[in-house]
Amino acid sequence: MGDYQVLRRLGSGGMADVYAAKHLKLRRDAALKVLRRTPQTSQEDLQRFEREAQAAASLNHPSIVQVYEIGDHQGTHFIAQELIDGSNLKQCLQQSGQFTAKDGIEILRCVTEALVVAHKAGVTHRDIKPENIMRSGDGAIKVTDFGLARVLSNTDASAADLTRAGLTLGTPRYMSPEQIQGHKVDGRSDLYSLGVTLYHLLAGQPPFDAEEPLALAVKHLHEMPQPLDHARGS
């Protein structure tokens, strides 16, 4: 794919597949996030995909996955980004069970520092959850997938439309009440999602759950979660 040799498939998300690759000229490992083309793929999808790269590429922090470039190879759109040798926190939870308080505090520190950088740059992630936080083999914590990020730019007339389109793309299990209700969100919404994520990691289960997304959303609006010490069984 252009200057990249695709090596193996790593996984897939809501709108893209991810592959391990190597840049043939630079001899640099990369993760290629390739937009999945379907008959339903719209120009709005392409704009949202590009917005992910633009938002992430504008941020510089050790706990934010670095974006190398955005490309288009024979009509196939992709983002080349830092390849993390490790697992996301949902995978870690499935493999090892609930996290210790010490690990939870370290994850909280790293992700909060990353979000401070993003929020100062006017970028709201909008989809903080265990799947979007990676832990590398050496223990480094990395926030990835700014696909739902809203860049707060007065010069970007399309931002409002993309935000409205993205409201249903968040993950209800971790969404803030204001995001669920379709209100304007800012960095405080990310902090709510981070709190839900941390609860899930420490308790081994999310604070709210339901089979239907709407029922789950209602719980975020009207219910209180079980105290964390009870959820941890301690």
Positions marked catalytic: 127
How would you label 174-196 residue by residue, b for 16+ Cβ within 10 Å and e otherwise?
bbbeebbeeeebebebbbbbbbb
> Residue 160: exposed, middle, or buried by beta-carbon count in 10 A (0-12, 13-18, 19+)?
exposed
Distance, CA of 186 to CA of 202 (rounded, Å): 25
Contact 33, 79 (CB under 8 A): yes
Contact 136, 86 (CB under 8 A): yes
Q: In sequence order, what are the beta bridge partners of 128?
A: none
Distance, CA of 151 to CA of 50 (rounded, Å): 12
